[in-house]
Structure 1
């Protein structure tokens, strides 16, 4: 494992495109109200991204949204498909289910992020809770947890602070509003200036890739948990 000083030194040599995808999947969100005013950082290709900070935390948070031309079931099914996730979520080298209960809408997954040299890889254990609101919206609430079944591995930095939400709202038979908001502390020696600079790029890249991937997917109500039907 590289020393913190070496990671910081080498990070300065990375080009921008690598950093855009570097923090993908790791910074998926919570819905805590901002202590500072939101800024519309990106508004293009039908995707909007707002960034903001909360008190006593220097790491930026974001919320983002877009409209996807597909069914509600197809959009939700794509997010729940862990095997497919390894193909479209940048730098995810392992995304495996530890526990899943479709009756109550709960899951625990392990995720490993294969970062480019010279960064150390990151990993985390995520607990998710799925629910369907009275207005038909489907909500995923995720957070990092400690799980004895997944011990910390050598040469991988374990992400301890992570919270995230996804919200899916059906607008028409073939139209879904997808919203995500997020925060995570990537830990280790990633300079704050780099993280905050690309927090606004990460959700844009994520939603853009999702919109492309969903065109190749064909999930139905049979592919989503009972609690969401």
Structure 2
């Protein structure tokens, strides 16, 4: 059974500590029950983001959708393919190879991601990801992304309500105008959570979460 986290958030998705203050962040988008904040660190000109929303579904259903690799390419923006290289459900660890379809005339990207899933004492599910060097052969058809970190959190608000947050940053590499990248950072998480809402509204069951998240 192939079920592990694809990195959703793609070219600009990265891990930002929950403790990090957002007092200097700009609320870039606030509509359809989705909020997207953007902000910068001195170490990078590329925007970082935090996006969040709530869904009227069980936490398990929302997390299961994110973990369904086979289904990811059908609804996650810019995801061309995802391959599970390794996984350990007992430890909550995994390794993925991903190809991202960038709009023409940009060259497509790929990356290798090491991830970790966990659940805290309050029942919050977290998924953290980080790009690594190596792990899969370089392909001259793609630009390899090596500077990426990202996370997702799922907080139960009720039996059929969950708060979903995602934080992100990545260096997309190559010659891409900074203005385009930063515009993408604002729009992509909003589009992703919108599509996630549509997927979660569809009838039908969902796969059980890995043991470490139950």
Q: State the structure with more CA Rg.
A: 1
User: Residues 205 and 30 (structure 1 numbering): CA distance in 2 closer, same or farther, change over 3 Å?
Assistant: same
- Does 1:199 pair with 2:185? yes
Cα displacement (A) at 1:218: 2.1
TM-score (norm 1): 0.85
- CA 1:117–1:97 in 2, change beyond 3 Å: closer, same or farther? same
TM-score normalized by the length of structure 2: 0.90
Decide which structure has greater strand share. Answer: 2
| Alignment match of 1:138 (pick from 125, 128, 145) | 125
Per-residue deviation, residues 43-77 of structure 1 (Å, max 9, x unmatched): 10000011000112111000010001111111111
Aligned length: 204
Write the distance in 2 (CA, Å) between the matches of 1:98 and 1:122: 18
Contact in 2 for aligned 1:34/1:54 (Cα 8 Å)? no
Q: Is the 8 A contact 1:137 1:170 kept in 2?
A: yes
Cα distance in 2, alignment partners of residues 24 and 163 from structure 1: 10
Between stretches 89-98 and 77-86, larger displacement belongs to: 89-98
| 1:10 counterpart residue number | none
Structure with the higher fraction of residues in helix conformation: 1
Cα distance change on mapping 1:192 and 1:34 into 2, 3 Å: farther
Contact 1:35–1:55, Cα closer than 8 Å, also in 2:
no
Runs of 4+ in 1 over 6 A off after TM superposition: none
Residue pairs, 1:1-229, within 5 angstroms: 25-32=10-17, 33=20, 37-148=24-135, 150-216=136-202, 218-220=205-207, 223-229=208-214
Q: CA RMSD in A?
A: 1.7
Partner of 2:5: none
Conserved? CA contact 2:77–2:191, under 8 Å: no
